[in-house]
């Protein structure tokens, strides 16, 4: 057991990285981030050329990891990022780390 992190913290980090470890979910998050506003899940499904139910299953994983919020607008469900700046910074730093490691 690590003395740096509690078991609960490790569980939350694992859930977060599990949610981010899927290319479809990353594309969904970037669609919302680039729109600079919440998006209807139907619009995300259309943009990804995917079935609504499949997209919604991915949304539930992202929501469970605490990355997004889902709320209802009329009869539609809308997806928004909880912290857009954090997500973009995390992805940017990850890509930067990959580039640095490729040069070694």
C-alpha to C-alpha distance for 23 and 28, rounded to whole angstroms: 9
State pTM to two decimals: 0.87
Instruction: Provide the residue ranges of all domains of the chain, joining segments of one domain with +.
Output: 7-103
* pLDDT confidence band for 103 (50 / 70 / 90): low
pLDDT of 50 strictly over 90:
yes
Taking Cα atoms as reference points, which of 16, 70, 5, 18 lies closest to residue 44?
70
What architecture is the 7-103 domain classified under in CATH?
A: Orthogonal Bundle (1.10)
Q: Is 50 helix (H, G, I), strand (E, B) or coil?
A: coil
80 pLDDT exceeds 70? yes
Q: ∠ at Cα 49 (25, 26), nearest 5°?
A: 15
- What was the pLDDT predicted at 93? 93
Residue 2 clears pLDDT 80, i.e. is over it: no
User: pLDDT tens digits, residue range 57-72?
Assistant: 999 999 999 999 999 9
């Amino acid at each position: 057991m690590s003395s740096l992190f509690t078991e609960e913290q490790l569980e939350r980090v694992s859930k977060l990285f599990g949610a981010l470890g899927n290319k479809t979910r990353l594309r969904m998050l970037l669609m919302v981030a680039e729109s600079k506003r919440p998006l209807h899940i139907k619009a995300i499904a259309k943009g990804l050329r995917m079935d609504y139910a499949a997209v919604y299953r991915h949304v539930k994983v992202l929501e469970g990891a605490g990355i997004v919020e889902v709320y209802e607008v009329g009869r539609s469900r809308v997806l928004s990022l909880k912290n857009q700046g954090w997500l973009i910074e995390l992805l940017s730093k990850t890509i930067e780390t990959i580039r640095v490691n490729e040069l070694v």
